[in-house]
């Protein structure tokens, strides 16, 4: 990132103050209107707001013990929160991503996608790799192994037969997935990693596990560095993103919006009164505005857009 100008720094400070105020839960409608006027008044304000949101979104994906010093001060000192946000936003995402065990940042990975982008590639061994939104992967193929290191985001892998008999493995910050001639997805965040098998089988080995967990087709598991949760059946929407959809079957609205928010910039949230409303349907991820319009037309909901970067779903 290039050096931040004084005007950009002033806008970042103002954006951090607005973010701390609006995230406190104590802001008024007048505050919301004032923020809306501020953010639309100058393109520099919009860029500063995007930086603050990007920092907040990345902090939400890193382990709590690391994110806490930056954001948990909301209760203790809004001034300290603002200061931390300003520092992180002004230096870029470098410090936020530094929790990863590998020193290379996600944006320097061999393969990566932007927010809302998906990418399909054929690897050197003929295996197919799909990257979902906001993902980063390193690729290391040598005489002994075929290894993908998932730095962030989500991938879908269809492994090809290897004449050299090299194992095909996917590493995350929480452990390793060994493919057993299969098709599967891996997703990682600061809260852990998730594996879902679409064909054949895999073995999942968390960093601290004594033995691997085998998953068959139709099964998925969540794991972190200390171990794994109980194996369960795949959700209906596993891998649906490769077809451009999020599929919901009686999914709470708050969870559906969290999924859709992965494919767009800005804040996408809902009123607590409708957070647990059960939603069913298929929603496009290449046009999340269309997905929100579908929610509004099919359910007793209203989509309130302060700007394209701040959207709230409320009861109608």
Q: Map out the domains of the chain with their CATH numbers.
A: 6-99 (no CATH), 106-233 (2.60.120.1440), 244-315 (3.55.50.30)
pLDDT on residue 97: 40
Helix (H), strand (E) counts: the chain: 7, 17
- Averages of pLDDT over runs of 10 residues in the chain (316 residues) are 68 84 74 83 79 64 40 49 64 42 58 93 94 94 94 95 92 95 93 95 90 95 93 93 94 96 92 95 95 94 88 94
CB atoms within 10 A of CB 227: 14
pLDDT on residue 104: 44
pLDDT on residue 9: 81
pLDDT on residue 106: 60
Contact 185, 154 (CB under 8 A): yes
Per-residue HEC secondary structure of 229-246 comes to: CCCEECCCCCCHHHHCEE
pLDDT on residue 72: 43
CA 86 to chain centre: 22
């Amino acid at each position: 990132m290039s050096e931040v100008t004084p005007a950009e720094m002033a806008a970042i400070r103002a954006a951090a103050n607005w973010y701390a105020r609006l995230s406190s839960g104590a802001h008024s409608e007048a505050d919301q209107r004032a923020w809306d006027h501020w953010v639309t008044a100058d393109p520099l304000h919009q860029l500063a707001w995007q930086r603050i949101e990007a920092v907040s979104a990345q902090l939400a994906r890193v382990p709590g013990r690391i994110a806490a010093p930056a954001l948990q001060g909301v209760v203790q000192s809004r001034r300290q929160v603002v200061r931390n946000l300003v520092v992180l936003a002004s230096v870029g995402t470098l410090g936020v991503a530094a929790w990863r065990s590998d020193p290379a940042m996600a944006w320097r990975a061999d393969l990566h996608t932007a927010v809302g982008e998906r990418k399909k590639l054929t690897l050197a061994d003929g295996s197919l790799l799909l990257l979902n939104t906001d993902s980063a992967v390193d690729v290391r193929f040598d005489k002994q192994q075929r290894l993908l290191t998932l730095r962030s985001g989500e991938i879908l892998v269809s492994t090809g037969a290897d004449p050299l008999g090299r194992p095909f493995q996917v590493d995350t910050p929480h452990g390793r997935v060994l493919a057993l001639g299969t098709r599967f997805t891996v997703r990682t965040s600061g809260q852990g990693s998730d594996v879902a098998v679409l064909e054949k089988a895999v073995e999942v080995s968390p960093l601290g596990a004594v033995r691997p967990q085998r998953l068959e087709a139709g099964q998925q598991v969540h794991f972190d560095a200390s171990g794994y949760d109980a194996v369960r059946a795949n959700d209906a929407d596993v891998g649906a993103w490769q077809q451009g959809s999020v599929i919901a079957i009686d999914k709470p609205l708050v969870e559906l919006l969290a999924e859709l928010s992965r494919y767009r910039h800005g804040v996408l949230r809902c009123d607590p009164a409708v957070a647990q409303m059960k939603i069913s349907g298929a929603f496009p991820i290449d046009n999340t505005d269309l997905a929100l319009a579908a929610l509004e037309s099919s359910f007793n909901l209203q989509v309130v857009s302060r700007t394209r970067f701040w959207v709230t779903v409320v009861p109608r």
